[in-house]
Structure 1
Amino acid sequence: MNSPSRPFSVTLLGFDAALSSTITGAMDLFALAGVSWQRIHQQPVTPFFSVQLATLHGHPVTTVNQLKLHAHCALQDVEHTDLLVVPTIGGDLNEILTATRPLHAHIHRLWQGGADIAANCTGTFLLAETGILNHKVATTHWGYARQFRERYPEVNLQPAKMVTQQDNVYCAGGGMAWFDLTLLLIERYCGHQVASDTAKSHVLDLSRPRQTIYAGSRQHKFHQDTDILNIQNYMEQHFTEALTLTGLAHQHNMTPRTLIRRFKQACGITPLHYLQALRLEQARKYLEVSTMSLDTIVTAVGYEDVSSFSRLFKRHTGLAPSQYRSQYAKR
C-alpha cells in the first residue's frame, strides 16, 4: 500500500472526558504523513490520509483537560471509514463507559462494514464493552491490566505489549502509546518508509515493543490482602538475599501452596515473578543513575550469572542492559 490511489479515511471518535492528546496528536500524525518529511526536504507534498473527528450527533465534546473540540461530522452520518480510532478515557472509567454506550452500535456498524478499529490505553475498555475484543489479543495501560482482566475475561490481554494486532483490530498500551499505534497504522497503510519518515520528522522512535519498561512493581500492590502485602513489603526489603518460597511461606505462617495461591490471586503473578520484578526494577534504576558495571549491578540485585540476567532483562524490557542504559541513563 505504498502509493494509495486516494487518501485513506481516518475517523477519530470523540466523547467527553477523553484524553485530548490522543485525539489531536493522532490527527496530526495521520494528517502530516506524506507532508512533514516532504516539506523538510523540499519534496512534493502527498497527504496519505483524510482525517475527521466524529461525535454522537456531531456535538462538541469537552476533553478531560477542559479543551472543547468541535466535530467535523456526526458519527451516525459516517457510512464508511478505513480506520476508526477510539481515544484514551481520561475521566472516571465507569462513568465514561456508561455514558458512551450509545456509541457501541456505530462502532459495530463500521467494524462490520470493513473498517479497521484501533483503541488506545483505557479506550480499549470502551472497545471491549462492544464485544469486538472477545477472543482477540489486546493490550491496555499496564496500571489497569488487572481491572481489565476481571471485567473482560474473554479477551486475551497481553499488557506487556505496547501494541497488539489481531485481524483488523489494534490496541495500544499506556496513555502516550497513541504515537506507537498511529505509526504502526501509517506503516500498515503506506509502508515502512512513510512511517519511518513520519517518525523521524516528528522526532519519534518508530518501535517501542513493550511497556514493561515503564511499569514498576507497585502495579502488583493494588489489592486488599494484608497478609500478601506484608509478604511483598518483606520481599522489597530483602530481595537481594537468597529468598525461597518455603522460607517465605514458613515465615508468614502459610504452606508454600497457600502462599502461591493467595499471592497469585492478589497480585496476578507468582512470588517468583514478583521477586524478579523487584530485582529488575532495581537494576533499571542502577542503569539509569549509576556508572556501576553490569557485573556489579547483577550481584547487587541478587543474581549471580550475568548472561542469564541479561536474557531475563531483555525478555522483560525488550532491550539489552547496555541498550537500556544508553537510552534511559540520566546525563
Structure 2
Amino acid sequence: MKHISILVPRGHTSLVNIEGSHQIFSELNVFLNELGRAPMFTVQLVGIEKGTSQRNGLFTIAPHVLIRDVKKTDLIVIPSVHGDQKQAMEMNAEFIPWIKSQYAQGASVASLCLGAFFLASTGLLDDKPCATHWKMASAFRQMFPQVNLMDNKIITEKDRIYTSGGAYSYLNLILYLVERMAGRDIAVLASKSYAIDIDRQSQSPFIIFEGQKSHQDEPIKQVQAFIEGNYQDRITVDKLSHQFALGRRSFERRFKKATGNTVMEYIQRIKIEAAKRDFETSGKNINEVIYDVGYTDTKAFRTIFKKITGLTPVEYRNKYNKLEVTV
C-alpha cells in the first residue's frame, strides 16, 4: 500500500487543493476494485494540530492524524497557502523537519500552486526546477533565487520533488502522480472520470505579463512606462539608454536586476501582450495585429509568439476569441 499524506497547514489554505487531492487519490481504490485489482492507497490528511481553522473561521479541517503519528509515508502533498508567504512559512515551520525527514527516507514531495513557496523554504527545491502560479513568479524569484523557477510549466519533476503551476493546474500534477504510482491506464481512467485534460504541459497561454515593478529603481520604472506606452514603435537598447541618460552596460544590468528580463525580452513581452489582447477582443486578422504591435517581420513575430504563449497566433485567437474573424 502507498501512503499519501496531504498536509493541512495553518493559514488561508486552498481547500480545493486539499479536498480535490483527497478525493482523487481516495477514488483510485474504487477504480482498481472495478478492474479486479487490489487497493493501492491509504490517503490521510496530516496536520500539526487537531482542528485547523480556515478562511477566518468559516471552515475547519480536522486532519486524520498529526505529523508525529506518521512515521513513514510515500508521498507528501503540500497545498497552496495564500496571503503573506513569509508569515505562512513561520506559522507552519513545524512541518519542515518532518518533510525533510520523510524525504530522506524515500518519500516524494509535491507542491501545488503557491505551495511551492513553502516547499522552497525547506531547501529541498534548491537547484531544482519549480513551477508555481505565474502571478507570483517575480516574488518567488526574489525570495528563492537558488531555485530554477520555470513559470511557463504546468509540472516540474526532479529527484522525487514535484511542483505544479497556477490554481487548477494542480489537477494535472495529481494525474501525473497517479500515472507514476498506479499506471497510465488508471491515470487515463481518472482523467475521464473527472473530465481533466491529461498531459497538459504548459501554463503559458494563461500568463498575463504585467512587468515586474515592485523594485525601487525609479529610472528603470520610467523606462518600463515608456516601453509600455510606445510598444508600436521601433525601440532599441541604444535609444533607451540615450533617452534616459544611462550608460548602456549599466542600463542593461540594472534593467535585468530590477525586472528579471533583459531590455529586449521586456519589449517583446509587452508587444506580445498587446497582440494577445487584440486577438482576444478584436476582429483584426493576424497580419493586422502583427503590424499594429510594431512588427514588420511576420515570421519573427510568429516564432516569438509561439515561444512565449505555447500557441500559434491562430491557435491563440481561436481559443480566446469568439468573434467571427478573418485569417
* TM-score, normalised by the number of residues in structure 1: 0.89
Judged with a 3 Å threshold, the aligned counterparts in structure 2 of structure 1 residues 218 and 137 are, in CA distance, closer, same or farther, namely same
Q: Which runs of structure 2 are paired with 1:190-269 in the superposition (5 Å)? A: 190-269=182-261
Structure 2 unmatched ranges of 5 or more: none
CA–CA distance in structure 2, aligned partners of residues 168 and 90 of structure 1: 25
Query: Can you list the C-alpha shifts for 1:201-251, whole angstroms capped at 9, x where unaligned?
Result: 222222332233333232422222221111111111111111111111111
Aligned pair partner of 2:117 in 108, 122, 125: 125
Aligned pair partner of 1:169 in 158, 161, 170: 161
Structure 2 residue 217 is matched with structure 1 residue 188? no
| 1:75 Cα deviation from its structure 2 partner | 1.4
| 1:264 Cα deviation from its structure 2 partner | 0.8
Equivalent residue number for residue 315 of structure 1: 307
Aligned pair partner of 1:21 in 16, 38, 42: 16
CA–CA distance in structure 1, aligned partners of residues 146 and 232 of structure 2: 38
CA–CA distance in structure 2, aligned partners of residues 268 and 241 of structure 1: 23
1:171 counterpart letter in structure 2: T
| 1:86 Cα deviation from its structure 2 partner | 0.7
CA–CA distance in structure 1, aligned partners of residues 212 and 142 of structure 2: 14
Judged with a 3 Å threshold, the aligned counterparts in structure 2 of structure 1 residues 150 and 178 are, in CA distance, closer, same or farther, namely same
Equivalent residue number for residue 156 of structure 1: 148
Identity %: 32
Judged with a 3 Å threshold, the aligned counterparts in structure 2 of structure 1 residues 83 and 22 are, in CA distance, closer, same or farther, namely same
Equivalent residue number for residue 3 of structure 1: none
1:326 counterpart letter in structure 2: N
CA RMSD, Structure 1 to Structure 2 (Å): 2.3
* TM-score, normalised by the number of residues in structure 2: 0.90
Structure 1 unmatched ranges of 5 or more: 1-5
| 1:326 Cα deviation from its structure 2 partner | 2.8
CA–CA distance in structure 1, aligned partners of residues 314 and 262 of structure 2: 28
SS, match of residue 212 in structure 2: helix
Query: Can you list the C-alpha shifts for 1:8-29, whole angstroms capped at 9, x where unaligned?
Result: 3221011122221111122122
Judged with a 3 Å threshold, the aligned counterparts in structure 2 of structure 1 residues 290 and 102 are, in CA distance, closer, same or farther, namely same
| 1:199 Cα deviation from its structure 2 partner | 2.0
2:217 counterpart letter in structure 1: D
CA–CA distance in structure 2, aligned partners of residues 221 and 74 of structure 1: 41
Judged with a 3 Å threshold, the aligned counterparts in structure 2 of structure 1 residues 309 and 49 are, in CA distance, closer, same or farther, namely farther
| 1:35 Cα deviation from its structure 2 partner | 4.6
| 1:311 Cα deviation from its structure 2 partner | 2.0
Matched pairs, number: 321
CA–CA distance in structure 2, aligned partners of residues 90 and 64 of structure 1: 10
CA–CA distance in structure 2, aligned partners of residues 20 and 196 of structure 1: 25
| 1:276 Cα deviation from its structure 2 partner | 0.8
SS, match of residue 83 in structure 2: coil
Judged with a 3 Å threshold, the aligned counterparts in structure 2 of structure 1 residues 181 and 239 are, in CA distance, closer, same or farther, namely same
